[in-house]
Amino acid sequence: MSFKELITRSRLSLTIQALSKKEQFALLGAAVIFLASATTYSVLYIQTKTVIVAAQGGQFKEGVVGQPAFINPIFPTTDADRDISRLVFTSIVEGAESIARSEDGKTWNVRLRENILWHDGAKLTADDVIFTLELVQNPEVNSPLYASFQGVAAERVSELEVKFVLQSPYAFFETDHLSNLRIVPKHLFYDIPAQNLKLGSFGLRPVGSGPYKVASHETDMNGAVTEVKLVANKDYFKGRPNIDTFIFKFYRNTAGLIRAYNLGQIDGAGLASAEPLTDDKITIRHETYGLRSLRYYAIFVNPALVPRELKSLEVRRALSRSVDRERIINEVFLGRATPLYGPTRLASDPGEASPEPLKGLKLNLVVPAEPFLAKSARIIKENWEAGGAEVNLQILPAKNIQEDILRKSNYEMILFGNITKESEDLFAFWHSSRRFYPDQNLALYQNKNVDAALEKYRQNFDSEERLELLKTISNTVAADVPAIFLYSPHYTYVASPQLGGLDSQTPINTSDDRFTNVANWYVKTKRVFR
């Protein structure tokens, strides 16, 4: 301390000592007020002049019910497969700089972005797109996407441009097809025979072009995958994702998933089934997102096997009107579902019907062994038996449903779900040509007017005209009652309050749709000046 500073401090000290106790306290109070005011002003200034934005960093642990089989978009076998593939691979639509269609709707030109790289550094090109399509179309590959791309040809225009040619116009080729075709690397698959594509390490250590790379995976003593670790792709063509590390953890059932969340072992979770992940089951801080699901459930009537009485429109209408949808929605879904009276929400309530036709009916209803479906079925059984029917419930495991029931159309009535997609193209589920496709036209429905409207709907590029067609289709199907339409559950997603950036307006077609904007999710924040 200099001599001058010493003299100054001494004088200040003498001045304060010369003050009375009351004056000293007043001076101290004034100083405190000044400092508090200055601090408050600084805080307010920062708050008004800055905003909180996403910052890069941190990790997020996602809980999933089920097991990954192949992290390969050619074989989307389980929800876990689709979830991880959504983060690792790029769809044609995501990778497109532009998409243009011809006036007749049969030709679609896709130009890829120039800066898309595979995780190994190779450039993604038109050759990869064509190769992916050829894999899907190869019957020896046995891809679940096979049926969607029959009759589609692809031609290389340039290194980054592909021309798709359809046999007939399809208004939803971009939204329903190209958006679901995720590109795989030709340079890693080219020499592998079709029958061997599921073999090797690629299924658990894939090379994609999406926002995240697969870094590692862990298994238990039985070989079951318990964890897959992803790391941010710094070269992602849309910009590096915010979250550094994204970890998937896998559980046998919903109870295990919830337990893991309550123990803080995971940061977010959705459900593979439609049963809600309710707030009362979560004991730690969380945010709940009710995302609009495109899945609906109905009891499909098989006209080839049902009792003669169910061929009567009056009887089927009475069955529909006897179902207490509001009770099911409140008791099974805690209000998180929308009642349905047709294949879309556009269908209107068909009106009152007499319960008289139910007396003496003997009904056999097949139900998959999902808790929410079993609960729904028991309420429906009560409803119908109150009207005089006799109802036998056959609650069967999913494997039996697929192999013994659906493939053989071996059911009188079955409680099952359909996914309409955002375009609500109902062709697969209600066109008469799809009667004998497993999981499609489960009611074996035939109506020439509906067939014609469905064909016109998918070839019409005018959105207003399509809407009117969809209303007509929905109400015609609803009036025919080939199925007792029940509800569309909301997709419930629970996450830690630290998670930001999730788009709650994204409609859920399949569970992986929650990751539509995953690159924008964040768990870290920072303040920046406006």
Domain ranges of the chain: 90-203, 295-489
What pLDDT sits at residue 6?
A: 46
Say yes or no to pLDDT of 335 above 90.
no
Mean pLDDT of the chain: 87
In the DSSP assignment, the letter for residue 503 is -
Mean pLDDT of 182-211: 84
The model's pLDDT over 88-133, given as tens digits with 9 standing for 90+, comes to 999 999 999 999 999 999 999 999 999 999 999 999 999 999 999 9
User: pLDDT category, 46, cuts 50, 70, 90?
Assistant: low
d(CA 429, CA 407): 15
Say yes or no to pLDDT of 311 above 60.
yes
Alpha-helix residue ranges (DSSP H) falling in 19-53: 21-49
What pLDDT sits at residue 510?
A: 81
Mean pLDDT of 61-69: 90
Domain 90-203 coded CATH 1.20.120.430: no
Q: How many CA atoms lie within 13 A of 89 on its CB side?
A: 31
What pLDDT sits at residue 272?
A: 52
pTM for the model:
0.81
d(CA 72, CA 85): 6
Q: Which fold has domain 295-489?
A: Dipeptide-binding Protein; domain 3 (3.10.105)
d(CA 343, CA 272): 22
List Cβ neighbours of 342 (8 Å cut-off, separation of 6 or more). Answer: 348, 474, 475, 477, 478, 485
3-17, 60-74, 487-501: range with lowest mean pLDDT: 3-17
User: pLDDT category, 45, cuts 50, 70, 90?
Assistant: low
User: pLDDT category, 34, cuts 50, 70, 90?
Assistant: low
At residue 242, the 3 state secondary structure works out as coil
The model's pLDDT over 438-497, given as tens digits with 9 standing for 90+, comes to 788 999 999 999 999 999 999 999 999 999 999 999 999 999 999 999 999 888 888 889
What pLDDT sits at residue 526?
A: 86
Say yes or no to pLDDT of 16 above 80.
no
What pLDDT sits at residue 285?
A: 72
